[in-house]
Copies of this chain bind each other. A is one copy, B any other.
Amino acid sequence: MKIAVAGAGGMGGRFALCLHQSGNDVILIDQWQANIKAIRKDGLTASLNGKVITDQIPIYYPDEIDEKNEKVDLILAMVKSPQLDQMFHAISPIIQDDTYVLCLMNGIGHEDTLSRYVNPGHILSGTTMWTATMKGPGLLELNGEGSIDIQNIRPEGKQAADKVIEVLNQAGLNARYSDNVLASIWRKACITGGLNALTALLECNNMELRSLRVFDAIILEIVKEYIAVAEKEGIHLNQTEMIEAIQDYCRPTVNGFAFTSMYQDLIQNHRITEIEYMNGAISRKGKQYGIPTPYNELLTQLIHAKEQLLTAF
């Protein structure tokens, strides 16, 4: 199978390596210059459960992709959320009518972005338990075992899902079909949607956030809006279950002492956040479906405000 892995970070690199080693025709597409230079010069090197292997995999900048490139059968979407639209715009020349896309990225609304470039019946969503660490340009540390759960976002995509699962399993990636992938993506998004923006805005960790007297009241409104929008997308989330999951996530023995990724991005590193793929997606989809989502909308606006104050954005 001809496969393009869009995003040659840790996870993209892992999947590209396994798929290439199992005999597929794989290319990488990435924007990080040092990474591209290293992989072109020395190949992609990984410590795979302690054993060092190196593999020569072609790698391209997105804007090197043009009509001359061969069409691909499958694209793995593995970029950072804000890069997805630009990436697929650039690589559209290699997308043909029967190209499948498997998106393993966190966040809400990626399928809407992908639908602008790919037949929605060919879009697959997934979650993965594989991990990967990028040790430097072209250099990966890959430990442990993992798995991939896959679900088609449209009924007609089931056949595509089965085919992609087969290819992933030939590469030893433990893929399986699951009816729960979309719901589990939404559940994860609802938890991060409840915590990330608030911790970044109030500059506290999960446990401190949980200790606030207004916590339950704010979380309730956020979750209710997530549930209403999810329902319109055919995903049923349970309110009590979601609220308990958020509270549980903040326990000292779970993630209480941790700072959310949005706190790290905005407060520690003064970087633009992924708010548009969390609460911002709920606000956008709410408008689209005619559902009021004022809590998610104001939180999105306040994070954008803080981005503008703290970064050069």
Contacts and interface: CB of A to CB of B under 8 A. Distances in A.
Nearest to A202: B305
Contact of A301 (B214, B301, B304, B308): B214
A203 B201 CA distance: 11
Number of copies: 2
A185 interface: no
Contact of A304 (B214, B306, B308, B309): B214
Interface in A292-307: 292, 294-295, 298-299, 301-302, 304-306
A208 interface: yes
A73 interface: no
A272 interface: no
Contacts of A217: 301
Nearest to A215: B305
Contacts of A90: none
Contact of A213 (B198, B302, B304): B304
Nearest to A303: B214
A306 B202 contact: yes
Interface in A175-219: 198, 201-204, 208, 211-215, 217-218
Tell me if A's interface is mostly helix, strand, loop or mixed: helix
Interface string A269-313: 000000000000000000000001011001101101110110000
A265 interface: no
Contacts of A25: none
Contacts of A111: none
B202 A298 contact: no
B301 A298 contact: no
Contacts of A211: 308
A202 B301 contact: no
Contact of A202 (B213, B215, B302): B302
A221 interface: yes
Interface of A: 198, 201-204, 208, 211-215, 217-218, 221, 292, 294-295, 298-299, 301-302, 304-306, 308-309
